[in-house]
């Protein structure tokens, strides 16, 4: 095969066969994604399509695939675009997914999109491939070099993951929009190979990980908005602040009835200079991460979603156990001589409601952070369930001053276990179990011993029968280590939360707020 320079003689990316000038980027944006070596490669190209060394029947791409341009029915201009894309190495700065397709940022400015509303939502026969570069803008019905290159990289990924039923020695025939066919068979379009299901093996995030491309979660993914994600990341650097508590002074409630999610709307992005808050580095960084994709990507690299999830669930567990320990100390020391009982009183109702809100928050975050942090969530829930199951007693037992009540309430009122689990029949709420049942049995498996012990404890405690039955089902799922779901799965759990009026967002406090 001839050298790339000899192969490309006579092909002009501008489509004018009379031109022999080099292909030059039209803007600074295009110049960034045209390496100097690539531009030089086209400097000496001339019209020589009939050159005997000019072989376009076996072009080897950078992904290792073979393309036959002689049988592809492409004109010279499109062939030039195809060869440049197939034989040039570009740099993907990051990629992301949205409701309308997938976006890939090449260089600092060029963005290639795959898919469309129809292909994502209606499973249409074909999506659209678009690019923001000047070459594509001159003829938007023909794929540019960036589209040819990107589709080749994705095609190479799928070729490497499939069984060798499609030998790579068979050449692909590219079409004008970048899609390919083979002489002997029909090739599926790339957008139909990428999994839309977040749990599929070939999601865009999994592909990006394999190809070493940075992946950025979009504002539409995971039921977390951009502002929520930034607060989640920045709060992870604090030892005790939860995301919904981080800099609430910078988030304001929108009064629209429809509910304004705290995301940056098109046309409202600030420049870096406008993000500066004099004397407040934290606020400046928060605004920069919300409005600047580069800063946001860097923060996500420093604190990825999995780390954020693990830190979040650890914080909730630590805070809940500290609450119980503080309440124990209060109950043990309650009634000290000279103490102002009214001033220093800790309400058991406040403790119970705080624990309920914490568990609800864990449940919300399991759904919104999926698939990250599941084991951390199980650890938090199982540990807390064990702590509560061992509290089937009067909170004032062993009070060193002999106090028997806070305000003439009955014993059940002072029993945290009874308030959270013993009232299941009345509340029709299964404390902690509602959150655990949305997790796969495989995630519960390593906690099977703890769950079995907790079941035994609740049987001794004479917990409500409905609670025992649900807990027993979870224990059996954990012991079986089912790959499926415990009793419903993530999707069912989300549906139940929605039907019950639960929050869809990662942090309930974050919904309906926007950045100031």
380-430 pLDDT per residue, tens: 999 999 999 999 999 999 888 888 888 888 899 999 999 999 999 888 889
What's residue 171's pLDDT? Answer: 81
Q: Say if residue 169 is in the same domain as residue 278.
A: no
Q: Say what the pTM is.
A: 0.61
Is 60 exceeded by the pLDDT of residue 259? no
Q: In which domain, by residue range, is 156 found?
A: 4-211
Mean pLDDT of the region 16-37: 42
Weakest mean pLDDT among 124-133, 368-377, 408-417: 124-133
Weakest mean pLDDT among 250-254, 347-351, 357-361, 489-493: 489-493
Task: Count how many domains the chain has.
Answer: 3
Q: Say if residue 199 is in the same domain as residue 297.
A: no
| Last-in-domain residue among 211, 245, 272 | 211
Is 80 exceeded by the pLDDT of residue 513? no
Asked if residues 219 and 226 have their Cβ atoms less than 8 Å apart, the reply is yes
Residue 241 domain flag:
yes
Mean pLDDT of the region 231-257: 81
Q: Say if residue 288 is in the same domain as residue 379.
A: no
Q: Say if residue 371 is in the same domain as residue 447.
A: yes
Q: In angstroms, how far apart are the furthest CA atoms of the chain?
A: 105
User: What distance lies between CA 273 and its chain's CA centroid?
Assistant: 29
Q: Say if residue 396 is in the same domain as residue 446.
A: yes
Q: Say if residue 206 is in the same domain as residue 227.
A: no
Residue 442 domain flag:
yes
Residue 320 domain flag:
no
Q: What value, to the nearest 5°, has the Cα angle with vertex 87 and ends 84 and 93?
A: 85
Q: What value, to the nearest 5°, has the Cα angle with vertex 97 and ends 95 and 101?
A: 110
Q: Say if residue 280 is in the same domain as residue 391.
A: no
Residue 318 domain flag:
no
Reading phi first (left if > 0) and then psi (alpha if -120 to 50, else beta), residue 329 is in alpha
Give the DSSP letter of residue 252.
E
CB atoms inside a 10 Å sphere around CB 16: 11
CB atoms inside a 10 Å sphere around CB 516: 12
Is 90 exceeded by the pLDDT of residue 120? no
Angstrom distance (rounded) from CA 384 to CA 374: 15
Query: Percent of the chain having pLDDT more than 70?
Result: 71
Angstrom distance (rounded) from CA 468 to CA 433: 10
| Last-in-domain residue among 302, 335, 351 | 302
What's residue 508's pLDDT? Answer: 45
Weakest mean pLDDT among 126-135, 253-262, 354-363: 253-262
- Residue 227 Cα distances to 23, 250, 430, angstroms: 42, 10, 32
Angstrom distance (rounded) from CA 231 to CA 510: 9
Q: Which helix (H) or strand (E) holds 110?
A: strand 110-114
Angstrom distance (rounded) from CA 326 to CA 416: 14
Structure tokens at 19: 């031109």
Residue 313 domain flag:
no
Q: Say if residue 376 is in the same domain as residue 345.
A: yes
Residue 307 domain flag:
no
| Last-in-domain residue among 211, 239, 270 | 211
Mean pLDDT of the region 453-472: 96
Residue 263 domain flag:
yes
Asked if residues 194 and 202 have their Cβ atoms less than 8 Å apart, the reply is yes
């Amino acid at each position: 095969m001839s050298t790339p320079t000899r192969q490309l003689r006579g092909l002009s990316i501008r489509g004018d066969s009379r031109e022999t000038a080099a292909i030059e980027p039209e803007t600074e944006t295009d110049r960034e994604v045209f390496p100097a070596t690539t531009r030089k490669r086209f400097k000496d190209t001339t019209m020589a399509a009939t050159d005997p060394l000019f072989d376009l029947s076996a072009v080897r791409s950078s992904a290792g695939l073979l393309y036959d341009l002689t049988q592809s029915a492409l004109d010279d201009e499109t062939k030039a675009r195809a060869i440049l894309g197939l034989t040039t190495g570009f740099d993907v700065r990051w990629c992301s997914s949205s409701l309308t397709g997938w976006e890939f940022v090449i260089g600092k400015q060029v963005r290639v999109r795959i898919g469309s509303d129809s292909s994502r939502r209606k499973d249409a026969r074909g999506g659209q491939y678009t690019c923001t570069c000047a070459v594509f803008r001159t003829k938007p019905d023909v794929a540019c070099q960036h589209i040819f290159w990107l589709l080749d990289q994705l095609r190479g990924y799928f070729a490497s993951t499939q069984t060798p039923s499609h030998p790579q020695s068979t050449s692909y025939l590219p079409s004008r929009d970048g899609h390919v066919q083979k002489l002997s068979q029909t090739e599926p379009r790339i957008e139909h190979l990428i999994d839309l299901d977040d749990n599929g093996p070939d999601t865009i995030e999994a592909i990006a990980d394999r190809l070493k491309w940075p992946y950025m979660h979009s504002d539409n993914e995971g039921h977390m908005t951009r502002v929520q994600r930034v607060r989640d990341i920045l709060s992870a650097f604090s030892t005790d602040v939860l995301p919904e508590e981080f800099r609430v002074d910078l988030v304001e409630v929108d009064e629209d009835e429809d509910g304004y999610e705290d995301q940056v709307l098109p046309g409202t992005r600030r420049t870096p200079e406008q993000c500066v808050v004099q004397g407040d580095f934290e606020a400046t960084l928060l605004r920069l991460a919300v409005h600047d994709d580069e800063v946001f990507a860097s923060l996500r690299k420093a604190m990825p979603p999995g780390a954020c999830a693990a830190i979040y669930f650890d914080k909730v567990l630590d805070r809940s156990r500290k609450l119980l320990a503080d309440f124990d100390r209060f109950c043990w020391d309650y009634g000290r001589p000279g103490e102002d009982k009214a001033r220093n009183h800790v309400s058991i109702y406040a403790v119970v409601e705080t624990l309920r809100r914490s568990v609800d928050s864990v449940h919300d975050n399991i759904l919104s952070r999926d698939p990250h942090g599941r084991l951390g969530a199980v650890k938090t829930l199982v540990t807390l369930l064990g702590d509560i199951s061992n509290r089937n007693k009067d909170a004032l037992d062993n009070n060193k001053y002999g106090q028997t009540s806070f305000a003439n309430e009955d014993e059940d009122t002072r029993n945290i276990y009874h308030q959270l689990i013993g009232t299941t029949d009345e509340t029709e709420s299964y404390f902690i179990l509602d959150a655990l049942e949305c997790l796969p049995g495989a995630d519960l498996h390593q906690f099977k011993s703890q769950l079995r012990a907790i079941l035994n404890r609740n049987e001794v405690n004479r917990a409500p029968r409905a609670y025992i039955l649900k807990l027993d089902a979870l224990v059996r799922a954990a012991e079986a280590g089912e790959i499926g779901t415990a009793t419903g799965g993530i999707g069912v759990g989300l549906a139940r939360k929605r039907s019950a009026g639960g929050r869809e967002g990662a942090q309930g406090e974050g919904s309906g707020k926007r950045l100031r």
